[in-house]
Amino acid sequence: MTTNGPTFLIVEDSPTMRQLIAFALRRIRGAKIVEASDGVDALRKLSGQRFDLLLVDINMPIMDGLKLLSLVRSDPQYRQTPIVIVTTEGAEEDRKKGMTLGANAYLTKPIQTAELLKVVQDLLSQKTT
């Protein structure tokens, strides 16, 4: 059975932050949310199902978000999938590095629900056009 809504993968080592992002995304009709606690966990989940959009933290144990981003972008199946970095790293060089590696958007914590939803909905609407 498929849902009409988008499927999101939240990759974040903080359970509290994952909950906050998931809570915001549930405002999108039919949203299906899968959570991963680090980059390795995310790769396992990416190999098992399709996602419409990924939300990735940079600072995580085992595999950080930038390494995950470069691996995902090198996979033809996910080359066009929108990726939003959600991080505490607000420095311009971090933003540039993330965007250079293929992120579609870069949000710094603390995130605002309205801003997160706008970015996600904008990226999803670009994907369907």
* pLDDT, tens digit, 9 for 90 and up, residues 38-61: 999 999 999 999 999 999 999 999
Question: What share of the chain has pLDDT > 90, as a percent?
Answer: 85
CA proximity to 85, closest of 33, 32, 19, 17:
17
Reply yes or no on whether the pLDDT at 75 is more than 80: yes
User: Could you report the per-residue pLDDT of 104-116, keeping only the tens digit for each?
Assistant: 999 999 889 999 9
Using CA atoms, how far apart are residues 66 and 102, in angstroms rounded to an integer? 9
Q: Is the pTM of this model over 0.85?
A: yes
Q: What is the largest CA-CA distance in the chain?
A: 43
3-state secondary structure of 55: strand
Domains of the chain and any CATH numbers: 7-121 (3.40.50.2300)
